[in-house]
Structures are given as structure tokens and as C-alpha cells.
Amino acid sequence: MRRLTESATSTPVVPSAGDAGASADAVPAVDLLGVRKAFGAVEAVGGVDLEVAKGEFFTLLGPSGSGKTTLLRIIAGFVPADAGEIRLAGVNVTREPPFARNVNTVFQDYALFPHMSVYENVEYGLRVKGLRRRERRERAQTMLEMVRLPEHGERKPGQLSGGQRQRVALARAIANEPEVLLLDEPLGALDLKLRQEMQLELKRIQREVGITFVFVTHDQEEALTMSDRLAVMNNGRVEQVGTPVDVYEHPAGEFVAGFIGVSNLLDRGGRRLTIRPEKILLTETPMESVDGYHSEPGRVVGIVYLGSVTRYVVELDTGETLIAVNQNRETVASDALIASGSPVTVTWREDQTFTIETTSV
């Protein structure tokens, strides 16, 4: 449909000089058209159409085997596409080798040279480009200040922590000022606390440098935290594209509803509905009927205390099971929680349920 729209008129529209900047920004940083890739009988990427805007933090999110890493490597040029086109800033690079594409890639293992200092690692791409030593060192120092490692230039990678090595790899990647930075699960080797810190750092750096980031992860929370937009992938195809809020609050299908966070799936009136656990009010007393709200009886069959919230598993009288989450706003004692086996009422606003399509996982 997009291609038909573009070719609908035979008279080209020529932008004025004042529109040149806006037109350049309107060209997608990454534009994928019908991209396919198979390995033998396995279709890893099945006809993907995708646009990533200039300056966007865009995430490819999906489980193992969904095709997200293969798609990233196709953009980088490491893996050739069997069909389709890859355009970078409007230029068709489908047949171009990796070095001819204005992109850099950060891998999970960082791929730093162990025998080189931090300065030398960050300068490496600049040296290949032929920049003079003084200019290389100034650029490297600027990059190290950006990733908050200004005093670590003389150290070797083996003298750094995992988080510091990740920052050096990032500094090296952005030193060349690529149009697009591709990140293949770069936080996967970090512990949870450091990973959460680096999520915020990556987003800060991306905003400062203004480079388009295409980020691959299987971690839903990571994708929701960092992305301007994200694409949920499954079995080589894109299930949904949107902002974190849109994808979480309005999942397009059963796979997205189940993969992004936790979602309750219910059949009501011939429709398949989804409702998020935090939208459900759980009470031990029946609720009065109120317009716009829906209540059903059930009983608690499981309790998980998570500190800030308590997760209750409720078996409805219909035989269905759903999960409700209560925020622990006040200090609670163990005996203050709703006991397992207790009869309860679950209530939700009808406008917070959404009809979804049933898809195979």
C-alpha cells in the first residue's frame, strides 16, 4: 500500500529550498521492503517491511528464534537477504558490503582488542579512516567523556569491569559518527543492577549524539524502558510496531499480549479479550454494579509477594484463571494478604479490555 501511494501521481513534487531540511529528516534512516532470509528449510525472516525514523531509538523485540538478530545482521550487511531491499537514508544498499554502509555494530561480547589501550580501541576506526593522531585522540577523549570514562584511556580492556567494557565498545562505535548504530543484545552479559543502569545510560547517550539506534533484545522490560518505538517479532515476522505505551496497552494479537509483560486472556460474548493484571481490582467483598465496570466472582489459588506488589492468581467461577496485581502502598504483614482459598471479586473497567486476534505462538 505504501508503494502504491508513492506512485499514485505522475507529477513529482519538488521541495523548495526551505523544505530541504524537513525532507531530509523525513527520509527513513532504515527502510526495509519485503526482506526475506531462509537458512535451508527454515525461514528466518519472512517478508519484513519496516521503517526506522532518523534519530529514533528503535528496538527489535522477540523471543529466541524470532528473526530479530538475523534482521539486524541483514541491515549491517553481514548476512545477505534472499529477497527485498535495504535502504539507508534513502540509498539502496542491498548489494553493498558492510564496510560500504554507514553503520556500526555493538555486539554482546564487545569485541574489544585486548592488547590495545582504551584510547587505541576507541581510535581504531578513526585510524582506518586516516585521521591524524591528534584528531583521533581528541575525538576519543570526547567519546570517553560522553560514556563517563574520561580517566580510563590508558587502561587495557582486561582492567575494566563488564559495564566499563560495554561503554568503551559504545564509544568506539559512535566515534565514527555512523548514520545508524546497530546493537545486538549489548547488555546481555551484565548483571541485573548494572543492566538497568546501562539502559538509562544508553538512552542518554543516544539522545546526546542523535544517532539512530536499532537495538535487539528479548527482554520486554528493557524494550519498554528504552525505545521510542519497537517492533515485536515472532517466527520471522513483525507482529506489531508502535510506541511502548501503544504496544503494551493495545496489543494487536494474542502473541503480543502474552509476550509483552503479563496479560489475561478471556473469552466473553464470542470475543477474545485481553486485560492487564494491574488494571484488575481485587476485593474480598462483592462489588456493587456500576456502569462501565465488570465484576466476576472467584477464589485465590496462588499468591506471590514481590515487595512493591503482590501478585494473586485467581480461579474464576467460569473455570478460567487470571492474574491480578495489588500495589503494596502501605506496609503489610504476611497475615494481611488475602489468603489462598479466599473467595474474592475481580473488577475491571470495560474500556480497559481489548479485543485481540487469536494467533499461533
pLDDT tens-digit profile of 232-291?
A: 999 999 999 999 999 999 998 899 998 998 899 998 888 889 999 999 999 988 877 788
| pLDDT per position as a tens digit, 83-139 | 999 999 999 999 999 999 999 998 877 788 999 999 999 998 888 888 899 999 999
Given a contact cutoff of 8 angstroms between Cβ atoms, the answer to whether 61 and 223 are in contact is yes
Identify the helix (H) or strand (E) that includes residue 105. Answer: strand 103-106
Confidence band of 359 (pLDDT split at 50, 70, 90): low
Cell of 230: 519497537
d(CA 118, CA 165): 9
Comparing 163-177, 213-227, 319-333, the range with the smallest average pLDDT is 319-333
Looking up cell 585521521 gives 131
A 10 A CB-CB count for 224 gives 18
Over the stretch 203-232, which tens digit does the pLDDT of each residue have?
A: 988 998 899 999 999 999 999 999 999 999
Mean pLDDT of the chain: 87
For 67, other C-beta atoms within 10 Å of its C-beta total 24
More confident residue, 359 or 200: 200
> For the domain bounded by 25-254, which CATH number is listed?
3.40.50.300
DSSP secondary structure string, 326-359? EE--S---GGGSPPTT-EEEEEEEGGG-EE-B--
Strand partners, 275: 264
Residue 243 CB partners (closer than 8 Å, separation 6+): 227, 228, 229, 230
Q: What is the mean pLDDT of residues 10-20?
A: 42
User: What is the predicted pLDDT for the residue at 23?
Assistant: 55
Phi-psi region of 266 (alpha: psi -120 to 50; beta: other; left: phi over 0): beta
Query: Which of these ranges, 70-79, 167-176, 306-315, 334-343, has the smallest mean pLDDT?
Result: 334-343
> Which CATH code is given to the segment(s) 265-355?
2.40.50.100
The contacts of residue 209 (CB under 8 Å, 6+ apart) are 146, 174
Confidence of residue 3 (pLDDT cuts 50, 70, 90): very low
**Mean of the pLDDT values across residues 8-29?**
53
Lowest mean pLDDT segment, chosen from 37-46, 181-190, 231-240: 181-190
Q: What is the pLDDT of residue 190?
A: 77
Residue 335: the pLDDT is 65
Q: Residue ranges per domain, the chain?
A: 25-254, 265-355
> Residue 287 class from Cβ within 10 Å (0-12 exposed, 13-18 middle, 19+ buried)?
middle
Q: How far apart are CA 284 and CA 293, in angstroms?
A: 17
Q: What is the pLDDT of residue 8?
A: 34
- The pLDDT, as a whole number, for residue 18 is 45
CA–CA separation, 187 vs 225, rounded Å? 13
Nearest CA to 281 among 352, 353, 349, 346? 346
Contact (Cβ atoms closer than 8 angstroms) between residue 112 and residue 158? no
pLDDT score, position 6: 35
Task: Print burial letters for 173-198: b (CB count within 10 Å at least 16), e (below 16).
Answer: bbbbebbbbbbbbbbeebeeebbeeb
What angle (nearest 5°) sits at the alpha carbon of residue 136, between those of residues 131 and 138? Answer: 140
Quickly state the pLDDT bin for 333 (edges 50, 70, 90): low
Return the pLDDT at 17: 42
Q: Quote the pLDDT of residue 358.
A: 61
**Sign of the alpha-carbon dihedral angle for 115, 116, 121, 124:** negative
**Residue 295 burial class via C-beta count within 10 angstroms: exposed 0-12, middle 13-18, buried 19 and up:** middle
